[in-house]
Chain A
Amino acid sequence: MVSLVPCLDACSFRVATHCFAVDSGCVAEVLHSAKLTPVPLAPEAIAGLLHLRGTIVPVIDLGHRLGLPSMEAGSSRTNLVLRLGDDCYSLLVDEVLDVQTIPLERIERPTAAAGHAAADAVTGVFAAETRLIHILDPERLVQSLIKQRPTPFVRHGVSHGG
C-alpha cells in the first residue's frame, strides 16, 4: 500500500541503551567487525579509518560523540556507512535495528531533555511502540565535529617536572 502522508524511511540503530535513526536513503552499507585504522591526534570522537572498496571512510564513534558509553567491546560494534553528498562517513553503533517508515507528522520536536553533546544533530523524536527513537541529521553531526577543532597544538613533549 502506498502511503499518502509524507514519511521518512528511517534506519534505526542502538547506541548503549538509546535508539537513533537516520534517513535510510543515505545509508550506503552496514559492516560488522570491520578493521579500523586509528588516527593519531584526531578528535576523540573519531574512532579511526575504514577501508571500503577503495574509499577511505572516517569512522565516528557515535557513543562517544553522544556521551553514551558503549556496552559492547570495540570489535563487536557495527559500522553504519553513510553517504553524504560526495563524502562517506561511518557511524560506529552497537546494533543496527531495522528500517521503518515513519509518518512525518508523528515525529515530534526534540525536547530539551535530549541535551547531550550532539543535541543539535537530533532533529526529531518518534515514539515507537516500545522505544523512543531520536532522528539524527548525519550532516549536522559531521558538521558539529568539523567545527569542533582540536585544541591548538601543544607539543607532546615529556611532562616537565611532574
Chain B
Amino acid sequence: MVGANDNEEFVQEFLVESTENLDQLDRDLIALEQAPGDEERLASIFRTVHTIKGNSGFFGFAKLGALTHSGEHLLGRLRDGKLTFDDRVTGSLYSMVDAVRAILRTIETTGNEGDHDFRDLAQRLTAVAAGEAVEPAPPVPVQAETPPAAAVATPSVPHPSPAKPALEKPPAADRSVSESSIRVDVGLVGSILDLVGELVLARNELRSIETTDPAVLAAAHRINTVTNALQETAVKTRLQPIEHVFSKFPRTVRDLAVSCGKEVQLSIDGGDTELDRTLIESIRDPLTHLVRNAIDHGIEPPEVRAARGKPQVGRLALRAFNESGQVTIEVEDDGGGIAVSAVRAKAVARGLVAADEAAALPDERVLQFIFEPGFSTAAAVTSVSGRGVGMDVVKTNIEAIGGTVDIHSRPGLGTTVRVRVPLTLAIMPALIVRSASERLAIPQAAVRELVPLHADRESDRGGPRIEGLDDAPVIRLRGRLLPVVFLDEFLGLRPQTACRDEGTVVLVRVDDHEFGIVIDGVRHGQPGAAGVGESASLSTVVVKPIGTLLSQIGLYAGATVLGDGGVVLILDLRGILRAADLPAGREADETSPPAATSDADRYLVCRTRQGRRIALPLERITRLEHVAAADVQPLGDRQVVRHGAGFTAVVDADRLLGDEAMVGNAMKLVVLGSDEGAVAVAVGQILDVLPAESQLQSTAVSTGVSGLLALGGMATEVLDVSRGLPW
C-alpha cells in the first residue's frame, strides 16, 4: 500500500525524471530535424514520450496522459514510416513538449494538473498524425528559462554520439550514465564538505603532536594522505558539468532563430567543464541573455549575410574551458559586430566621456561602455550597434559571483563575449595576509601582483614607494599611478599606518579598478629582502558564510578556517573599493618620464590650520611630512623640526598669510628646498595636486600671497615662496 507521503515522494521523482526527459526530448528533436532519417533517434523520442505517458497514467494525471498519448500516436506513425518528418510535425511536437512542461510545472507547484486546456493541441497532434492539412503550428513561445524542477545533483548527459545501427538496443547509450550515478541531496553534500573541513583541522592538530612512536607516526601519515584525498573528492561532488546550462541552448537558439527569421548553427564545446552547482544556476540567465543578444542583434538576417558574402547560416559558438583556476565561457557569433563609432557617440551623448577623450580611447575601451547601466537600452544604439539590452545586468550578475565579462568585436566579422567565473565559491585560492595583529584573506583571483615597498627614497632598485598625498596615496608602477589603501589604517587596526615605508602592496583588480592594498611587509631584521613570504601566503580556503550581522559591514565576503584552526575574514574587495572611495588609477603623466615635466604648472593644494585654501607650486616641493606637534621644537621665536642630522625650519602657513598660527597636536609639513636651505611650511590638511586652470592673477592680493589661480574649479591663493620665506 502506498501511503500519501510515499506517493508524494514518487511524484517528486517523476517530476525530476520527466523534466530531464523533456530536456533530452528537446535535444533529440533538434537532432532529428537535422537528420530526419535517424531511426534510432526517433525510437528514443518515442520511448521518452511513452515513459511520460505511462507514468502519468500511474499517478492519474489524465491531461498529461491524453496529451502524451496523442504525441505518442504521432510518433508511432512516423516510426512506422506512415508519415514523413516535416515542419508541421516538428512544430506540433515542440508544442507538445512545451505543454507537458507547463503541466509538470503546475503539478510541481500545486500538486495537480491545473486547468490547462490542451485539447486543441491534442487534436492537432492527431490531425497531423492522420496526415491532414492543418494550420501551421503557432510559433513556439520563447520561454523564460526556468530553474530545474528540483535541486538535485544530476550527472552529465553527454550529447548523443553519432547514430549507431538501430537494433534492439534498450535505453540508448546516453541513458546509461544515470545507471552509474545516484541522486544526493545538496544539503547532504554540504554537510560532508563541512565534516571534511573538520577532519582537516583535526588532522592538523594530530600532526602538531610531537612523538617519536613509529606506530603513531605511520597512522598519522596515513590519516594525512586519506584526508587530503577525501577533501579533494568531497569538493568534486559539488561540481557539475556546465552541460546542465548548455543543454538548454539548442532549443533556445532554435526558437529564437525561428522568431527572428534567422538561420543559426549552434556549436557547443566543453560542456564537460565543471563548475560548482550554485554557480551553474547563477550563470544560466546571463548566458541566456548573451545568446539571445547574439541571435537577435548580432547575427544578420540571411539576405544581409548573403549580400555581405557570408554563409547564409550564422554561426554561434558556446565554449567552456578551464583557464588558470577559473572557468571561461565564450559566446561567439559571426554576425555584424558592434559599431564602435555608434557606441562612442552614444557615450559622449550620455556624458560618460568627453568628446575629445572619447576620440582618443582605443576601441576596446569604448566597447566597455556597453556595460554601463542603461547604456544599451537606448534604441538608437540597439539598432545601430547591433548589440542589445541589458549588458549591465549581465555584468552585475556575473560580478556578483566573482566573475568578469569582457567583450571583443571585429566589425563585420562578429562579436565574442567572454565570461570568466571561479570554479566554485565554496573553495578558492586566497592570499592570507597580515596586517597589524590580524590575518585576512584576499581572493587570489583578484590579485595581480605583490610589490614590496621601498623605504629608501633615493634608491632606484627594488619596488616603488608610496607617493602622493596623505589623503590619496598612490604607488607608481610601470608608468601608472595606482591608488592604495593601508589595510591597517583602513580597518582601524592601527591609528596610523605602519606600512608607509616597509609594507607590501597587494595589487588587486576589481571590475575595472586596479588598486593596491598595503599589508605588513617583511619587517625587523631583513631590510631590503625582496621576499614577501612572511607577510603573505597562498592557501586554498573553504569559504564560510558570516551571516547578515557581519556581511552588513560590507567589507567581508565570508570567513574561513585555516589549517592552524584560526578564523580569518575574507575581504570583499568590491566593498573595500566602495568604502575607501578610491580614485581610478591613471596613466602617470601619459608617456612622459616619471619626473613629471609638467610640474611647472601643477600645484599642491592645502588647507591651512585656520582653514584657508592655499596652493604651493609643486616644482618647489621636495617632500611631504606628517609630524606630531611635540616633534617641533621652539627655537627662539622660530620653530624647527629635527630632520636627520640637522634641523629644518618650520613656518606656519597661517603666519605667512598674516593670521594667527593655530596650535594643534599634529601637522603636515610641506618641505621646500633641500638640505640647509630647506624650509617646511606647516599646513592643516593636504588636499590634492592639481594643474593650474588659469593664469596667475597677481593683482590685489593679500599678505604672503603671490596671486590667485583657478585650481580644481576654485579660486585658490598661491603662497608666495618665490623670494624665500621670511624666517
* Distance (whole angstroms) from the CB of B534 to the closest CB of chain A: 21
Q: Which residues of B contact A41 (CB under 8 A)?
A: 491-492, 553, 555
Q: Are B545 and A56 in contact, with the CB atoms below 8 A? A: yes
* B550 pairs with A87, CB closer than 8 A: no
B379-387, B388-396, B661-669: which one contacts chain A? B661-669
Q: Are B550 and A37 interface neighbours, CB within 8 A? A: no
B195 contacts A161, CB within 8 Å?
A: no
Q: How far is the CA of A159 from the CA of B558 in the complex (A)?
A: 30
Q: Which residues of A contact B715 (CB under 8 A)?
A: none
- Interface assignment of B210: CB less than 8 Å from any CB of chain A: no
Assess the A162–B665 pair: CB atoms within 8 A.
yes
- Docked Cα-Cα span, A37 to B668, in Å, equals 36
Q: How would residues 71 to 107 of chain A score, 1 for a CB under 8 Å from any chain B CB and 0 otherwise?
A: 0000000000000000111000000000000000000
Q: Are A161 and B580 in contact (CB under 8 A)?
A: no
B558 closest partner in A (C-beta): A56
**B495: chain A residues within 8 A (beta carbon):** 158
User: Which residues of the other chain, B, contact A153 by a CB distance below 8 angstroms?
Assistant: 579, 581
* Chain A residues touching B, range: 20 to 34
Residue A55 interfacial (CB < 8 Å) = yes
Which residues B476-527 have CB closer than 8 A to chain A?
Answer: 489-493, 495-496
B134: CB under 8 A from chain A?
Answer: no
Task: Establish whether residues A46 and B609, one from each chain, have CB atoms under 8 Å apart when the complex forms.
Answer: no
Give bound CA distance, A49 to B662, whole Å: 44
| Given A37-B566, A58-B546: A161 and B685 interface contact (C-beta under 8 Å) | yes
CA distance A146 to B554 in the complex (A): 12
Q: Kindly supply a per-residue 1/0 record for chain A positions 120-150, scoring 1 wherever the CB is within 8 Å of any chain B CB and 0 otherwise.
A: 0000000000000000000000100110011
A6 contacts partner chain B, Cβ-Cβ < 8 Å: no
In whole angstroms, what is the CA distance A49 to B558 when docked? 11
The answer to whether A40 and B438 have CB atoms under 8 Å apart is yes
Residues of B within 8 A of A53 (CB): 194, 198
Contact of A161 among B555, B561, B579, B667 (CB under 8 A): B667
Whether a CB of chain A sits under 8 angstroms from the CB of B629 is: yes
Closest beta carbon of chain A to B361's beta carbon, Å: 30
Partner of B549, one of A38, A142, A160, A161: A142
Contact B626 A158 (CB under 8 A): yes
Q: Assess whether B289 is interfacial by the CB under 8 Å rule.
A: no
**Interface residue B593 (Cβ < 8 Å from any Cβ of A):** no
Residue B603 interfacial (CB < 8 Å): no
- Given the known A-B contacts A53-B198, A158-B666, are A42 and B565 also in contact in the complex, defined by CB atoms under 8 Å? no
Nearest residue, chain B, Cβ from A158: B496
A161 with B569: CB separation less than 8 A: no
Q: A41-B491, A53-B198, A161-B609 given as contacts; is B549 within 8 A of A146 (CB)?
A: yes
B491 and A149: CB pair below 8 A?
Answer: no
Find out whether the CB atom of A146 lies under 8 angstroms from the CB atom of B552: yes
Considering the chains assembled together, what is the distance between the CA atoms of A160 and B548 in angstroms? Answer: 34
- B550 and A58 contacting across the interface, CB-CB below 8 Å: yes
Are A39 and B489 within 8 A (Cβ)?
no
Q: Is A157 a contact of B489 with CB atoms below 8 Å?
A: yes
Bound-complex Cα distance A142 to B438 (A) = 26
Docked-complex contact B553 and A49, CB < 8 angstroms: no
Q: Is A160 a contact of B684 with CB atoms below 8 Å?
A: yes
Residues A54 and B438 in contact in the complex (CB < 8 Å), given A40-B493, A41-B491: no
Residues of B within 8 A of A42 (CB): 550, 553
Which B residues lie within 8 Å of A54 (CB)?
A: 194-195, 197-198, 544, 561
Q: Is B170 an interface residue (CB 8 A)?
A: no
In angstroms, Cα B561 to Cα A142, docked, is: 24
Q: How far is the CB of A138 from chain B (nearest CB, A)?
A: 12
For window 14-51 of A, CB contacts with B under 8 Å fall at 37-43, 46, 49-51
Contact with A along B529-565 (1 / 0, CB 8 A): 0000000000000001111111011011011010001
Q: How far does the alpha carbon of A37 sit from the alpha carbon of B556 in the complex, in Å? A: 14
**Cβ-defined partner of A49 (8 Å) among B470, B493, B559, B579:** B559
Complex contacts, A46 vs chain B, CB 8 Å: 549-550
If the complex has contacts A55-B544, A158-B496, are A149 and B552 also in contact, measured as CB distance less than 8 A? yes
Known contacts A37-B566, A51-B567; A58 and B549 CB within 8 A of each other? yes
Q: Name which of A54, A58, A162 has the most chain B CB atoms within 10 A of its CB.
A: A54
- B471 lies within 8 A of chain A by Cβ: yes
Chain A residues contacting B545 (CB-CB under 8 Å) are 56
CB distance from A123 to the nearest CB of B (A): 20
Asked whether B559 lies within 8 Å of A56 as measured between CB atoms, the reply is yes
Q: B569 — which chain A residues lie within 8 A by C-beta? A: 37, 39-40, 49
Which residues of the other chain, A, contact B489 by a CB distance below 8 angstroms? 156-158
B residues 559-607 with Cβ under 8 Å of A?
559, 561, 565-569, 579-581
> Is B667 within 8 A of A87, CB to CB?
no
Q: Type the 1/0 row for B188-200, where 1 means its CB is closer than 8 Å to any CB of A.
A: 0000001101100
CA gap between A153 and B580 in the complex, in Å: 8
Q: How distant is the Cα of A159 from the Cα of B664 in the complex, in angstroms?
A: 11
CA distance A38 to B569 in the complex (A): 9
| Interfacial chain A residues near B492, Cβ < 8 Å | 40-41, 156
Q: A40-B492, A155-B490 are in contact. Are A145 and B549 (CB under 8 A)?
A: yes
Interface digits, B674-709 against A, CB 8 Å rule (1 contact, 0 not)? Answer: 000000000011000000000000000000000000
Q: Which of B491, B565, B662, B684 contacts A51 (CB 8 A)?
A: B565
Partner of B546, one of A49, A60, A150, A161: A49
- Cβ–Cβ < 8 Å partners of B566 in chain A: 37
Q: Which of B624-650 contact A (CB under 8 A)?
A: 626, 629
B666 and A161 form a contact (CB under 8 A): yes
Chain B residues closer than 8 Å to A161, beta-carbon distance: 609, 662, 664, 666-668, 684-685
Is B664 a contact of A157 with CB atoms below 8 Å? no
Q: If the complex has contacts A56-B545, A156-B489, A156-B492, are A39 and B550 also in contact, measured as CB distance less than 8 A?
A: yes
Distance A58 CA – B490 CA, assembled complex (angstroms): 22
Greatest chain A CB density within 10 A among B490, B544, B553 is at B553
Please, which residues of chain A bring their CB within 8 A of the CB of B496? 158
A34 CB to closest chain B CB (Å) equals 11
Q: In the assembled complex, how far is the CB of residue A42 from the closest CB belonging to chain B, in whole angstroms?
A: 6
- Contact call A160/B685, Cβ cutoff below 8 A: yes
Given contacts A55-B544, A157-B471, A162-B629, contact A39 B666 (CB under 8 A): no
User: In the assembled complex, how far is the CB of residue A80 from the closest CB belonging to chain B, in whole angstroms?
Assistant: 16
A53 to B546, CA, bound (A): 14
Q: How far is the CB of A151 from chain B (nearest CB, A)?
A: 11
Q: Which of A39, A87, A150, A158 contacts B556 (CB 8 A)?
A: A39
A49 touches B567 (CB 8 A): yes
CA distance A51 to B559 in the complex (A): 10
Q: Which residues of B contact A89 (CB under 8 A)?
A: 547, 549
A122 to B489, CA, bound (A): 38
Chain A hits for B668, CB < 8 A: 160-161
For the complex, what is the distance from the CA of A40 to the CA of B530, rounded to whole Å? 29
Distance to closest chain A CB from B498 (angstroms): 12
Q: Are B666 and A156 in contact (CB under 8 A)?
A: no
| Known A37-B567, A161-B667, A162-B664: A150·B549 in contact at CB below 8 Å | no
| Distance in Å: Cβ of A102 to nearest Cβ of chain B | 28
Given contacts A157-B471, A158-B496, contact A51 B561 (CB under 8 A): yes
Closest 8 CB pairs of A and B: A162-B664, A161-B684, A40-B491, A162-B665, A54-B194, A37-B567, A160-B685, A56-B544
- Between-chain CB contacts (< 8 Å), 29 pairs: A37-B559, A37-B569, A39-B550, A39-B569, A40-B492, A41-B555, A43-B553, A46-B549, A49-B559, A51-B565, A51-B567, A53-B194, A56-B547, A56-B558, A58-B547, A60-B549, A87-B547, A89-B547, A142-B549, A149-B552, A153-B581, A157-B470, A158-B489, A158-B496, A160-B685, A161-B667, A161-B668, A161-B684, A162-B629
Known: A37-B567, A54-B197, A155-B579. 15 other contacts (CB 8 A): A39-B553, A40-B438, A40-B492, A41-B555, A46-B549, A49-B546, A49-B550, A49-B559, A51-B561, A55-B194, A56-B547, A56-B567, A156-B490, A161-B685, A162-B667
Give chain B's interface residues, CB within 8 Å of chain A: 194-195, 197-198, 438, 470-471, 489-493, 495-496, 544-550, 552-553, 555-556, 558-559, 561, 565-569, 579-581, 609, 626, 629, 662, 664-668, 684-685
